[in-house]
A and B are shown apart, each in its own frame.
Chain A
Amino acid sequence: EVQLVESGGGLVQPGGSLRLSCAASGFTFSSYWMHWVRQAPGKGLVWVSRINGDGSSTSYADSVKGRFTISRDNAKNTLFLQMNSLRAEDTAVYYCTRDSHGLGDHDYWGQGTLVTVSS
């Protein structure tokens, strides 16, 4: 059974940093592109970043480019999102998702982890 479990969310002050993790199981992790998608309270889904299977290619939304870094450890089946220079508008539930075949649908989603940026 495919499982994605996010962790690392919490309360952080503006300008601070946080590192999210997503533990994957039930599939060959290194064979899939992975994404982070976020959802601000009461708002819609917004794509944040993606990484290809071997970690050699990444892409970011303009709103987080230069502040967030996506990475993965295929030996540990774990996806990461390093978030620096956090702003109030980064407050959201962050979901880790699996891309079914590269530029495809997001066929599995984690339960999400809440990041709150506030003083």
Chain B
Amino acid sequence: QSVLTQPPSVSGAPGQRVTISCTGSSSNIGAGYDVHWYQQLPGTAPKLLIYGNSNRPSGVPDRFSGSKSGTSASLAITGLQAEDEADYYCQSYDTSLSGRVVFGGGTKLTVL
């Protein structure tokens, strides 16, 4: 089991909005560590999508947004497009694990 909990799958029709949750605890997200999100397209390496809870790297469309509150974080995707179909992972750090990196289990987004 992953330290950070994500739903295994979400889906939505083109143009719709979907959200992916990432639930942690007081030793990681709740301890103040930032949450980052990665997109992994089929057969490729993961790519940074959101950093520092809500910031987009250059080149990432503003359809993608992140937020954090308490011990959880969320990734929202608006105006869903076929090319958004991918696996999404959240990531943070955990004080109980000597500040080690922790990932969520990943969420498969299907565009219907």
Contacts and interface: CB of A to CB of B under 8 A. Distances in A.
B68 interface: no
Contacts, number: 60
A45 B38 contact: yes
B98 A105 contact: no
Given A45-B89, A111-B45, A105 B36 contact: yes
Name, among B38, B89, B101, the residue most crowded by chain A CB atoms within 10 Å (CB to CB): B101
A104 B92 CA distance: 8
A109 interface: yes
Contacts of B14: none
A27 interface: no
A107 B103 contact: no
A111 B38 CA distance: 15
A105 B100 contact: no
A59 B106 contact: no
B12 interface: no
Nearest to A112: B45
Given A100-B51, A105-B51, A110-B45, A44 B102 contact: no
Contacts of B93: 103
Contact of B48 (A46, A59, A107): A107
Contacts of A50: 100-101
B45 A106 contact: no
A34 to B, nearest CB: 12
Nearest to B47: A109
Given A44-B89, A111-B45, A104 B51 contact: yes
Q: Which 5 residue pairs of A and B lie closest in terms of their CB atoms, listed nearest first?
A: A47-B101, A105-B51, A105-B36, A44-B106, A109-B45
Given A106-B46, A109-B48, 7 more contacts: A37-B103, A100-B51, A105-B34, A105-B51, A106-B91, A107-B51, A109-B47
Interface of A: 35, 37, 44-47, 50, 59, 61, 95, 100, 103-112
8 contacts: A37-B103, A44-B104, A50-B101, A100-B51, A103-B33, A104-B51, A104-B52, A106-B48
